Structure 1
């Protein structure tokens, strides 16, 4: 079942713009293996839980459990190859942006990726 964790990408975010994101811990049911993933999209509208509701079904279909660790916003500038992580979720609290940045770095290898505790 741990191989199911490997099937889930570390980070998936919209290709451009400023949008909400969440940091999610996925783990093997009845096991200790887990990994954290980042998901962000403009389609979430005003609420971070809309991202979680979209992320959960395909992950649970793999036999994994999901737990949202917090949220924030990502500013993605694909032209300049820059990502900036900031802010917090009203419903889930602030994600550990340093963890989120490490996940983003594993996918966006040639990007400059920064974070701050600024709310806006």
Structure 2
């Protein structure tokens, strides 16, 4: 999926690329942009330990960004296993409602956000 790593729009640049919890939880991969300008976009990862469904993660994110005038489009989901004590993150699975996220892109964004981690892996299982 194309997407700039550094958007031109300062509003988009200010949104953290990755916000995840600890343990095993559902995550979503989203494309964000302002107004109808989908060309200037950024991909972000959000995961929530307390979310029962992927849509719960999306609804929370969408309501946060909406107040800032930023549109959010979920492009897939999955699960994350995050073990901070082992400095390990695994990205896998899929969302029933949103389909499988691009785990390669999600893992890349996570690795950039957690450069001190020795293991950020992904799989399609």
TM-score, normalization by structure 1: 0.93
**2:5 corresponds to which residue?**
none
CA distance in 2, matches of 1:113, 1:59: 27
**1:68 corresponds to which residue?**
74
* Unaligned stretches of 5+ residues in structure 2: 1-7
- In the alignment, is residue 21 of structure 1 matched against residue 27 of structure 2? yes
* Unaligned stretches of 5+ residues in structure 1: none
Tell me how far 1:66 sits from its aligned partner: 0.5
- In the alignment, is residue 94 of structure 1 matched against residue 107 of structure 2? no
Q: Deviations over 1:29-85 (max 9, x none)?
A: 12221000000011112x100000000112122211110000000000000100000
CA distance in 2, matches of 1:102, 1:60: 26
- In the alignment, is residue 37 of structure 1 matched against residue 12 of structure 2? no
Aligned CA RMSD, in angstroms, stands at: 1.1
TM-score, normalization by structure 2: 0.89
CA distance in 1, matches of 2:34, 2:19: 20
Which contiguous aligned blocks of 4+ residues in structure 1 show a shift greater than 2 angstroms? none
- In the alignment, is residue 6 of structure 1 matched against residue 13 of structure 2? yes
How many residue pairs are counted as aligned between the two chains? 116
Tell me how far 1:95 sits from its aligned partner: 0.1
Any idea what SS the aligned residue of 2:50 has?
helix
